[in-house]
Structure 1
Amino acid sequence: MEHIELFFKSIFVDNMVFATFLGMCSYLAVSKKVSTAVGLGAAVIFVLTVTVPLNWLLDQYILREGALVWLGEEFADYDLSFLSFILFIATIATMVQLVEIVVEKFSPSLYNSLGIFLPLIAVNCAILGGSLFMQSRDIETLGLALNYGFSSGIGWFLAILAIAAIREKIRYSNVPAPLRGLGITFIITGLMAIGFMSFGGMLTGGDDAPKADETKTAVQQEENTNTTIEAIDEVVEVSTITE
């Protein structure tokens, strides 16, 4: 259940683009065509799926305070958390370089269409944000880290794919001149963010939600209280008329 909830929340409620506005540079620049958006989105999914679990391992067994205890008791007091950014970015850059080599080898046309934005995945704030959010949320297992990386990539992919499809359609629409280009794109992005955030109401619940019996009891108590107040008002009105 925890995996399912994390999966859907990362895609819809905590979407990298619509909830935290991370990765907006490539989101806006590469979303003019669906074909390029699909290629970049797939690359982001791969990089997030690989780097978030790898950085989770680095955080658990090297970076955080006491993580080096597996080397011996004399290393139990070491705290290398100040190296988090450096090691996280190094891991991301390595994976992005691998993706760039593979894309250039097997799809030169996609490599040329993505241009500079493919190597810039290494400095895409959505990629680093995935690892930092993983660290700040204290994700407990490697499986959850893998789930979070993959689902966050899916969310970013859906965002750029949706805006690319819409931007291809609005080319043939009568958009007011001041809003053409990035203006209408920002407006559409805001509306899409509202739509994605609306899924939050569907994913709430669990231990924090009141049980059905407790809710029913509370409603009955409120109805009884209202009935008592109405009865008292009627008695007061009758007494006033009698007097």
Structure 2
Amino acid sequence: MTLAFTAIVIENVLLARFLGVCPFLGVSKKRDSAVGMGLAVIFVITLSSVVAWLLYTYILVPFKMVYMRTIIFILVIASLVQMIEMFIKKISPALYRSLGIYLPLITTNCAVLGMATLVADPSYTFLTALIFSFASAVGFLFVIYLFSTIREKIARGDVPKAFQGVPIALITAGIMAMIFSRFGVLNL
């Protein structure tokens, strides 16, 4: 439970590690798109991190090929994203269109590669890698959903012209990051 809470809130992939900021800002204008992206990221981060841990532990380290990990992890992530893209296009064409370019960009999403690289480490067991990567991805969904909700409310409000669009989005993200950072100093 502590590991999951840490991954979701304290070491949030978006607000503490600043990984995945591009889709965070790009897809968070509407809640539906944000949730769709978040669910896709949950699947990709969890599965790619587990596969990365297995490849790292049982192939790359024993065969002294650790230097190949980034390229291999990118290939794993690209394959998973292609499968998700085909699935979403078939199941929900509207969601597929709303995610636009950001869906194939999950392949190069630094949150996905960052988590795969982070858990492919001897200090993680298979179970901790699975829990931490899944919880981190849930943290991504949680934050992008909150952010999209706030952005929708701000869009209906009266924002000064100089702050409209990206400036108010960055200010909002910064305030969220400050709030989330305070959880790390609590003795829970």
Q: Same fold (TM over 0.5)?
A: yes
Q: Does 1:177 align with 2:161?
A: yes
Query: Which aligned pairs between 1:60-209 and structure 2 lie closer than 5 A?
Result: 60-64=57-61, 67=62, 78-136=63-121, 138-139=123-124, 141-202=125-186
- Unaligned 5+ residue runs, structure 2? none
- The alpha-carbon deviation at position 165 of structure 1 amounts to 0.5
**Paired position in structure 1 for 2:3:** 6
- The alpha-carbon deviation at position 176 of structure 1 amounts to 1.6
The count of residues paired between Structure 1 and Structure 2 equals 188
* Greater radius of gyration (CA): 1
**Paired position in structure 2 for 1:219:** none
Identical-pair percentage = 42
Per-residue deviation, residues 52-102 of structure 1 (Å, max 9, x unmatched): 1110001101112xx2xxxxxxxxxx4101100011111111111111111
> What is the letter of the counterpart of residue 129 of structure 2?
A
TM-score (norm 1): 0.75
Structure with higher RCO (Cα < 8 A, 6+ apart): 2
Residues 137 and 21 (structure 1), Cα distance of their counterparts in 2 relative to 1, 3 Å cut: farther
Greater Cα shift, 172-181 or 128-137: 128-137
TM-score (norm 2): 0.96
Q: Does 1:31 align with 2:28?
A: yes
**Paired position in structure 2 for 1:53:** 50
Is contact 2:10–2:180 with CA below 8 Å preserved after alignment? yes
Q: CA RMSD in A?
A: 1.3
Is contact 1:10–1:148 with CA below 8 Å preserved after alignment? yes
Misfit runs of 4+, over 3 Å = none
Per-residue deviation, residues 215-241 of structure 1 (Å, max 9, x unmatched): xxxxxxxxxxxxxxxxxxxxxxxxxxx
Is contact 1:9–1:203 with CA below 8 Å preserved after alignment? no
